[in-house]
Amino acid sequence: MFHAMNQRILIILFVGLIGVSFGGPLARFVPEMAALTIAFWRMAGASLLLWVYSGAKPQGKLPLDKFPMIIVAGIFLALHFACFYTAIKLAPIANATLFATLAPLFTLIYERLWLKRSLSRGALVGLWLAFFGVVIVQGSNLNFSGDESLGNFFALISSLFMSVVLIIAERIRVDVGNTLYTRWLYLFAAVILAIIVISTGTEISFQPADVKWLLALAILPTLIGHNSMSYAVKYLRPTIVGTMPFGEPIGASILAWLFFGELPGMSVVIGGSIVLVGLLIISRNRA
């Protein structure tokens, strides 16, 4: 039964991987829309769809003691998407998605320093390989000057924020259903993003032609992609769940090539491959 459960979770994560790979490429179809606005409508749309679903299929009430943690998770999820879509505006899709999938590095450090969980030699090898690959991708421009390097930096910070979301989700999902959790998570993230958008004077409206792309962002990378991770984190450590989308840069790069003819540079191919090998080693050693 346990083996069957593991297989089901892995299938869910694989489907989620396909969905989350669309997160970066879809944003390119609304080039005139600000990064913060894209992030807001992605969260608002996903939250609305989940609340409508909950109306048809009640999910129960969220315990009051869970709200503080979910609000914090919502704040960090909002910051994650704000930084990620800023990165998409500045850097190639392959770069942005690669640096945005480094959450396992931060969760691994958290597990070791704060949770005092032991790290195997293999996990440490994977950690250093991933860091080495990041340095290769970034190249000699370590001061993050220029749009591409700045985009890499924003994507890296987005990984840090996502690691916090995964760590909090591990605690909440012990006794809270996935839909019940994510409908509140996305709602709080949308509220935070709305505050940021309004306070910065960013245009929040969109054109009718943009509706299909915003709806796709709410469904594919969010409800299918991120919800699969929120579901799996109840059964697997956050480091493993955060590592499973290691194929996202590959999927996103393929989509970027198909849709926009955008091919990654050699440093991204070489360094990215090393990063993904490191993340895979981490995954295998944290099972």
pLDDT at 67 over 90: yes
Render pLDDT for 86-126 as a digit per residue (tens, 0 to 9): 999 999 898 888 888 888 778 777 777 777 777 777 777 88
| Chain segment 201-217, per-residue pLDDT in tens | 999 999 999 999 999 99
User: What sign for the dihedral angle of Cα 87, 91, 93, 96?
Assistant: negative
The domain containing residue 268 runs over which residues? 2-285
Residue 4 confidence (pLDDT): 60
- Mean pLDDT score of the chain: 85
- Which pTM was predicted? 0.85
Please tell me the predicted confidence (pLDDT) of residue 268: 82
Name which of 3-17, 94-108, 235-249 the model is least confident about. Answer: 235-249
Q: Quick check: 97 and 253 in contact, CB under 8 A?
A: yes
- The answer to whether 189 and 72 are in contact (CB under 8 A) is no
Question: For the chain, what is the domain count?
Answer: 1
Give the confidence band of 3 by pLDDT, cuts at 50, 70, 90.
low
pLDDT at 190: 98
